[in-house]
Amino acid sequence: MSAPSISPLAPKGGFPDLPAIAGVRYAAAAAGIRYKGRDDVMLIEIAPGASVAGVFTTSSTRAAPVLDCEIKLATQPDGLDAGFAIIVNSGNANAFTGHAGQKTVDDVTHEVAAMLALPQSHVFSASTGVIGQPLPSERIIHALATLRGGLSADAIEAAARAFMTTDTFAKGAGAQVEVDGHIVKIAGIAKGSGMIAPDMATMLVYIFTDAKISQLNAVTFNAITVDGDTSTSDTLMIAATGVVEMPEITSVTSTAGIAFAQALGTVMKDLALQVVRDGEGATKLVEVRVTGATSDADAVKVARSIANSPLVKTAIAGEDPNWGRIVMAVGKSGAVADRDLLKISFGDVLVAEKGWVSATYSEEAGAAYMRNEELLLDVDLGLGAGSATVWTCDLTHAYITINADYRS
């Protein structure tokens, strides 16, 4: 696979400066799993005293590393104060690889555990790339010494580059926030070049913080909705090293918990939007904002129906203000809607209201707006207080080119 050019929607400043997280070190190496001339494996070491949490794809065909992570997280020995490690490779997803797939996970996490003197139950893995081909674990194991030698608090960008697949840029986001008078740092990386549902390419997200958090699941995932029903390997893990001398955050409803969750949410949204910005072949970043639904659930239905519609997405690619396709997407969403109360705006341009095109709308104004790189599609159902926002990208010729020939 030749290196694709960087998405036109990539953040202009390149990879951000992320805060170093005390207790976390990163390394990357070239194991030669599938790609040539680039790193394809990364190792993250987390110091003793940390806590970890994770959410994973709900796919019924999820990959061996996902199943292994789920089991390990569910059966952590109480009171074990060892560190953790995360080992991730690109090029091969180790998905639908039968029982050999689990053996590969065992072999790799066993070797990482031995090398870093960790219990194997504290070593998590992920794999992303082609499905259904055996993952050559020996190549990863052969690269472990190089990875250990390279571990550094400053190598997060190298780690982010090593797990890219069809990604055209490395994705990172960070935050510093005052919690109970203490400065807490958050740094995260992600891979994925997604069209949002359906059929997002595998998304892997790793987030680190030096905050002291005792109920990590409660404080993080309960406060933030994660949509992981897509690929066979989607993984989101968070580690809190607890290095900051501060009272433990134990609840998401405490002042400290709220402050931390807000900062974490900002980092997660930043990473998720970068994944959309790297949508395969994308040239437009589109925010679909739905208001006035009878419930938030209905608003989500409408927003997804619009955001996932190939007809809407191709119209956006063609810079065509084809609001008729939005009307169609609202109609087929299954949500309660009234044709004559619907109001559609493209940014500040009011397009349709009262069951018809707006008296103030001109096709020229609509077409001019659609030439923007970032677009807001605003749909007011006029019925209630339900609202939702979904981000998506356009559907272009480049998407077909990338995906009709991904494995070559």
Q: Is residue 295 within the footprint of a copy of itself (CB under 8 A)?
A: no
Residue pointed to by tokens 């949500």: 335
Q: Looking at 90-98, 114-122, 137-145, 203-211, which segment touches a copy of itself (CB under 8 A)?
A: 90-98
Structure token pair of residue 278: 């790297």
C-beta closer to a copy of itself: residue 138 or 229? 229
Minimum distance, C-beta of residue 297 to a copy of itself, in the bound complex (Å): 15
Contact string 185-224 vs a copy of itself (x = CB under 8 A): ----------x--xx-------------------------
Strand order in the sheet with 24-29: 24-29, 41-46, 84-92, 123-130
Q: Collapse the DSSP code of 31 into the 3-class scheme (helix H, G, I; strand E, B; otherwise coil) and give the result.
A: coil
Is 253 in the active site?
no
Q: Is residue 118 within the footprint of a copy of itself (CB under 8 A)?
A: no
Q: Is residue 235 within the footprint of a copy of itself (CB under 8 A)?
A: no
What's 41-58 look like in SS3? EEEEEECCCCEEEEEECC
Minimum distance, C-beta of residue 2 to a copy of itself, in the bound complex (Å): 16
Alpha-carbon span 334 to 168, nearest angstrom = 35
Residue pointed to by tokens 């659930």: 297
Minimum distance, C-beta of residue 169 to a copy of itself, in the bound complex (Å): 21
Alpha-carbon span 36 to 401, nearest angstrom = 21
* CA–centroid distance for 261 within its chain: 17
Residue pointed to by tokens 């190496």: 29
Q: How many residues does the chain have?
A: 408
Nearest in space to 62 (alpha carbons), one of 198, 279, 229: 229
Structure token pair of residue 190: 């992600």
Q: Looking at 35-43, 73-81, 155-163, 329-337, which segment touches a copy of itself (CB under 8 A)?
A: 329-337
Minimum distance, C-beta of residue 399 to a copy of itself, in the bound complex (Å): 7
Minimum distance, C-beta of residue 315 to a copy of itself, in the bound complex (Å): 7
Q: Catalytic site residues? A: 202
Per CB under 8 A, residues contacting a copy of itself are 57, 59-62, 93, 95-101, 130-133, 195, 198-199, 229-232, 305, 308-311, 314-315, 317-318, 320, 322-325, 327-340, 342, 352, 354-357, 395-397, 399-401, 403-408
